[in-house]
Chains A and B, each alone.
Chain A
């Protein structure tokens, strides 16, 4: 698999438009498959609570911007398309900032500058350009929802590893006894890198194993699958 391709332009050729929701959730998971949106993935995941909050905030922005962009896709001239997308995305990020403040000040403080930084999250612009600009509103809505929840799922996976190993708790609930010596590295920056590397390795191993199984089970498709391996 070509992991060395530029991260912000992941291949979108294999997007099954029949179920955009599941596609975003699993098959083209923004973090584990497309390797997008790395900044918040590494920065916010030192606790599961922050990871889930960030995932949900990004989902809101994705749904909002995908839907709105899909609604106006036919009337935007191509020259100003990126500018319009960015305006819409920045608006939804401003809105979600107020919403998070209104729901919980402590979460807002914990996420800090990363809420306005959702604007710079590659995932949102990529989905806008690659999907919402071309597909109808309902499909775009589902795609936004799927990608967002897929992102939230990935963040939670990472957050779980980092919080359980690095602090001995999950969502603040202590899991081990008082004699547990937390592996502090995992809540520090290097731990974020390592945890993500391990998850990526796990996922790509799993996918390659599944592909091999499929190839073994259907010999007629072996030639095709070798092109993709």
Chain B
């Protein structure tokens, strides 16, 4: 190799790298600070739109989070993504229902979704995919296929029977979900995430139902 001193100009190297890093750091922080408000607004708008589709007529919303010890707390903002419970009220302050977040591993990656839940009757009345990377044309139909979404108008989530995804065309009971033909893995993921969520959250919701209905 070249016998010329390669380590001689170390100081200029460090100076240059240091300056560039500083410059880059400033640019990144500047961008982050400038776009923070806008990004938060976008996320809230998206959430709001999805919740409105699940609980039509919603005028007021309270965001609940779940503490590690199982207690319900009111969240000031939108933090705690993936584990939130939204309570919806109409203009007169009457309780409309809950929207619960859930997720599970689909075919390609995690599917994030929300469902509308009526605690009095322990039924699920709606389902919306928030985020997914499922196969276009096949798995991604869990978001748009009207036949699939019909399943969720009234799903029995009581303790008697677990929610389960069944083969396309064989749904007989209200706690079953008719899978999309050709998208079994994605459909099963939906069934799993709903059952998992109801298992975990229904008791907590039942314990705090009074408080939720009063809007506290």
Q: Which residues of A contact B (CB under 8 A)?
A: 46-47, 72, 75-77, 79-80, 83-84, 87-88, 90-91, 94-95, 98-99, 101-102, 104-106, 109, 112, 166-167, 182, 184, 187-188
Contacts and interface: CB of A to CB of B under 8 A. Distances in A.
- Most chain A Cβ neighbours within 10 Å, of B20, B32, B138: B20
Interface of B: 6, 9, 12-13, 16-17, 20-21, 24, 27-28, 31-32, 35, 38-39, 42-43, 46, 109, 131, 133, 135-138
Across chains A and B, which 5 residue pairs bring their CB atoms closest together, nearest first? A91-B24, A102-B35, A102-B38, A187-B136, A95-B31
Given A47-B136, A91-B24, A187-B137, A80 B17 contact: yes
A72 B32 CA distance: 24
Given A76-B16, A77-B13, A182-B137, A87 B31 contact: no
A161 to B, nearest CB: 14
Contacts of B31: 94-95, 98-99
Given A94-B28, A187-B136, 9 more contacts: A77-B13, A83-B17, A87-B20, A91-B27, A94-B31, A95-B31, A102-B42, A105-B42, A166-B136
Nearest to A89: B24
A84 B21 CA distance: 8
Contacts of B39: 98, 101-102, 105
14 contacts: A79-B6, A84-B17, A87-B17, A87-B20, A87-B21, A90-B24, A91-B28, A94-B31, A95-B27, A95-B31, A102-B42, A105-B46, A182-B137, A188-B137
